[in-house]
């Protein structure tokens, strides 16, 4: 699907098949295009749109570069957070002096928000201003994801340290397995957000390069006015703050994983201790029973009238006394 957005107008317009863009178009959003749709855009804008494979390149030189008066930038966005398979997808931003072109093969939440915003509020007449507004929404979305992950870390922390359960209640194997799965899922999303923030930090730094600023001044790049400069500075601060927050969350998750593994070790030791205590408690009665179970001819106790009750009492005492000793020492 291809949408065109005109400065000063609300809502989207379909991309014309004849390739003549509506007057005042500042943003062309190319979402999961068919092969012929991609050809339309390339012919109409005289641009070579990157392929999906190009967008997935990890080299910095492949993510930000220039061709003529167009700046090509690729960043990643986290999608599918509410599904069982969150992932990071590449999005291409192509900025020219009069037009912003976005190419994506997914439907990120931030783009849906930007489309709704365009239906209510007219776009500015600067392609760079549109890009900054879009980046602002993307960064806000990444901040929301980090806040959600922080809440998940707090909730998992309460489970690991048992703040919501009685101290006498031990976690089952299923509970511990679920906790490890939660920690792994949180760490996966936080890593994807961190990687996404790094790509946007590189992209914003590219826009702030001295040669980009000089090119904007002579008209071969998108106009960089005072408001745009302030917007880019704000984005730099926001992205830097979120990167610090994601690093902090990563450290917390690492600590939480160590704590969870420690909790698992404690639970295993508790089970082993139960078996060890049971073995020690039942060893003396077993010894007494073994002694009086031997088939020797001369065993005086066997002829006593109270021999049997005496043997039973000895076995009970030999089991109870070690148990009381362990309780006194705090080993149980």
List, for residues 71-103, the tens digit of each pLDDT value: 888 888 888 887 777 888 889 999 988 889 999
Burial (CB count <10 Å: 0-12, 13-18, 19+), residue 53? exposed
Rounded Cα distance between 129 and 226, Å, is 11
Q: How many CA atoms lie within 13 A of 220 on its CB side?
A: 9
Q: At what angle do helices 127-160 and 226-292 cross, to 10 degrees?
A: 20
What is the pLDDT of the chain when averaged over all its residues? 82
**In the chain, which residues fall in CATH 3.30.460.20?**
2-267
Q: Dihedral of CA 267/271/274/277: which sign?
A: negative
Q: According to CATH, what is the number of the domain 2-267? A: 3.30.460.20
Of the chain, the percentage scoring pLDDT greater than 70 comes to 89
- Write b or e for each residue in 314-324: b if 16 or more Cβ atoms lie within 10 A of its Cβ, otherwise e: bbeebbeebee
Spatial contact of 235 and 204, defined as CB atoms under 8 Å apart: yes
| From-to residues of CATH 1.20.58.340 in the chain | 269-329
Residues 10-59: tens digit of each pLDDT:
777 777 766 677 788 888 888 888 888 888 887 877 888 888 887 777 66
Phi then psi for 172, rounded to 5 degrees? -80, 170
CATH topology of domain 269-329: Methane Monooxygenase Hydroxylase; Chain G, domain 1 (1.20.58)
Residues in the chain: 332
Sign of CA dihedral 207, 209, 213, 215: negative
pLDDT tens-digit readout, 213-248: 444 444 445 556 677 788 888 889 999 999 999 999
Alpha helices in 172-209 (DSSP H): 173-207
């Amino acid at each position: 699907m291809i949408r065109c957005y005109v400065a000063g107008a609300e809502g989207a317009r379909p991309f014309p098949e004849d390739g003549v863009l509506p007057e005042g178009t500042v943003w062309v959003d190319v979402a999961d295009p068919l092969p012929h749709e991609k050809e339309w855009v390339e012919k109409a804008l005289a641009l070579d749109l990157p392929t999906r494979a190009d967008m997935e390149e990890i080299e910095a030189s492949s993510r930000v570069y220039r061709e003529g008066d167009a700046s090509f930038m690729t960043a990643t966005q986290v999608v599918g957070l509410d599904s069982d398979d969150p992932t990071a997808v590449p999005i291409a931003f192509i900025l020219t002096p009069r037009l912003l072109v976005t190419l994506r093969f997914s439907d990120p939440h931030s783009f849906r928000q930007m489309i709704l915003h365009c239906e209510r509020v007219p776009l500015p007449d600067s392609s760079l201003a549109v890009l900054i507004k879009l980046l602002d929404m993307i960064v806000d979305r990444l901040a929301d994801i980090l806040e959600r992950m922080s809440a998940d870390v707090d909730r998992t922390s309460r489970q690991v340290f048992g703040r919501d359960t009685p101290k006498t209640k031990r976690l089952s194997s299923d509970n511990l397995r679920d906790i490890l799965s939660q920690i792994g899922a949180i760490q996966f999303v936080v890593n994807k957000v961190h990687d996404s923030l790094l790509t946007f930090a590189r992209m914003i730094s590219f826009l702030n390069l001295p040669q980009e600023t000089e090119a904007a001044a002579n008209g071969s790049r998108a106009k960089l006015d005072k408001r745009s400069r302030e917007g880019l500075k704000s984005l730099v601060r926001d992205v830097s703050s979120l990167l610090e927050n994601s690093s902090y969350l990563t450290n917390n998750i690492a600590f939480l994983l160590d704590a969870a593994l420690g909790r698992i070790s404690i639970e295993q030791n508790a089970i082993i201790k139960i078996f060890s205590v049971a073995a020690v408690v039942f060893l003396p009665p077993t010894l007494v029973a073994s002694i009086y179970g031997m088939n020797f001819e001369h065993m005086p106790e066997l002829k006593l009238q109270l021999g049997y009750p005496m043997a039973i009492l000895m076995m009970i005492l030999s089991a109870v006394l070690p148990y009381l000793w362990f309780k006194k020492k705090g080993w149980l």
